[in-house]
Amino acid sequence: MTTQPPSSAPTGFSVPVIDLSPYTAGDDPARDDPARERVAREIDAACSSVGFMQIVGHGIDDAVIEGLAGAIDDFFALPPETKNGYRVAGANRGYSPPKSETLSLSLGVESAGRMNDFFEAFNVGVEARSFPDLALDEADYGINLWPYLPDFRPRIDAYFAEASRVARTLTRAFADALGVPPEVFTGMTGHSIDVLRLNNYALPPGPVTLDGELTGMGEHTDFGLVTVLWADRVAGLQVLSADGVWHDVHPVEGGLLVNLGDLTARLTGDRWMSTLHRVRPPIVDGGIVRRRSAAFFHDGDVDAIVATLPDLPGADLSAYDPITVRDHIAAKLAGSRQGRANTGAVREAARVLAAAQQESR
């Protein structure tokens, strides 16, 4: 087993905690409300330097979060045959099993070249039929598959609605932080492709032999505008800082992690960052410490064109060509699902490589 490189530097890096309550209140105070101005400034600083935040004051009831956690437990406790019955071909819905074939070799991965993600997941999302007037395609807005489990759907629906509200509250604050009208975001999120991915990081009982890289979820950036992440307060999530070092991150008590996706980096011409992250659950006494998370991806309308805001201070107007949400997501999914390299992601690939070189020094 190779020695683990230091994954968190002792100095300098932290994921700022931001109290969103001045925005959560929901009313629309005067434009220059000082409490909101402060939040907007904090968001701008976090998004410009780290790309991750911890949000408190989000207004989600404990009972809703407990419902989410309970639904995650109930689903992933089902036997593999039952879970496999909830796989959906060709849509970002239902169950995705861990990469069991490679894991079975030794519960490790043969080489760094065969890194495999052992997370298992269950996805639900916004459906075409919720917008009968828009003729949306079910290839983009798939039908959800609900497991036969008591109260699973109401618990997930309740959390989904709340995560959606938080994501939209955040984009309201983003508009203020960037000094642009709120319509910049509301204009591209009327029928946003939002997906909630429940993640379970666990391995079958028994010793784990590490003879290479074992990865909960490989390094990636999120695709969309913003991700609202609930996670167990267990180490595992690592975030790549601008100086190329991986840092362990877990949320403050009661907080949600929030990170920006590629579409916001595009929109802001890299003034704000879509930060690389990965999951490496800790191994204690030869076993993985189980970790759960739920990522709510707020990705924008499939037909929205995302172009860098022309007059935004700090935006690099030469960084990206305009792209539709559909084309951007299709390129990313082709990489993660079908193993086809996303050649458009040149900048991200360079950042991963630089971090790997730094770790091996």
Interface residues toward ligand AKG, by CB under 6 A: 197, 199, 217, 222, 229, 231, 237, 277, 279, 293, 295
CB of 220 to Fe ion, least distance (A): 6
CB of 205 to Fe ion, least distance (A): 27
Residue nearest to ligand AKG (CB): 293
Find which of ligand AKG, Fe ion, none residue 126 binds, CB within 5 to 8 Å per kind. none
Please state the φ and ψ torsions of residue 308, each to the nearest 5 degrees: -60, 135
Q: Which is nearer to ligand AKG, 229 or 258 (CB)?
A: 229
Q: Which is nearer to ligand AKG, 253 or 321 (CB)?
A: 253
Q: Does 194 bind Fe ion (CB under 5 A)?
A: no
**For residues 213 and 109, is the Cβ–Cβ distance under 8 A?**
yes
Find which of ligand AKG, Fe ion, none residue 199 binds, CB within 5 to 8 Å per kind. ligand AKG
The count of chain residues that interact with Fe ion, using the rule CB under 5 A, is: 1
Q: Which is nearer to ligand AKG, 202 or 237 (CB)?
A: 237
Interface residue with Fe ion, options 176, 222, 232, 301 (CB under 5 A): 222
Q: Does 301 bind Fe ion (CB under 5 A)?
A: no
CB of 97 to ligand AKG, least distance (A): 15
Q: Give the binding range for Fe ion (CB under 5 A) out of 86-94, 137-145, 184-192, 217-225.
A: 217-225
CB of 281 to ligand AKG, least distance (A): 9
CB of 250 to ligand AKG, least distance (A): 8
CB of 263 to ligand AKG, least distance (A): 14
Q: Which is nearer to Fe ion, 68 or 217 (CB)?
A: 217
Task: Please count the other Cβ atoms lying within 10 Å of the Cβ belonging to residue 84.
Answer: 13
Sheet strand arrangement including 246-248: 217-220, 277-279, 237-240, 246-248
CB of 198 to ligand AKG, least distance (A): 9
Find which of ligand AKG, Fe ion, none residue 202 binds, CB within 5 to 8 Å per kind. none
Burial per residue of 249-260, b for 16 or more beta-carbon CB atoms within 10 angstroms, e otherwise:
bbbeeebbbbbb
**For residues 302 and 333, is the Cβ–Cβ distance under 8 A?**
no
In three-state form (DSSP H/G/I as H, E/B as E, the rest C), the secondary structure along 121-160 is: EEEEECCHHHCCCCCCCCCCCCCCCCCCCCCHHHHHHHHH
Long-range contact pairs involving 140-148 (C-beta distance under 8 Å, separation at least 24): 140/193, 140/302, 140/326, 141/191, 141/193, 141/302, 142/88, 142/91, 142/92, 142/93, 143/91, 143/93, 144/93, 145/86, 145/88, 145/93, 145/94, 147/75, 147/78, 147/82, 147/86, 147/122
Q: What is the dihedral of CA 73, 210, 342, 54, to 10 degrees?
A: 50
Q: Which is nearer to ligand AKG, 39 or 72 (CB)?
A: 72
CB of 31 to ligand AKG, least distance (A): 34
Residue nearest to Fe ion (CB): 222
Q: Give the binding range for Fe ion (CB under 5 A) out of 60-68, 127-135, 218-226, 347-355.
A: 218-226
Find which of Fe ion, ligand AKG, none residue 237 binds, CB within 5 to 8 Å per kind. ligand AKG
Q: In sequence order, what are the residues at sequence separation of 6 or more whose Cβ sits closer than 8 angstroms to the Cβ of residue 320? A: 265, 266, 269, 307, 308
- Helix, coil or strand: residue 274: coil
Pairing of strands 283-284, 287-288: antiparallel
Q: Which residues bind Fe ion (CB under 5 A)?
A: 222
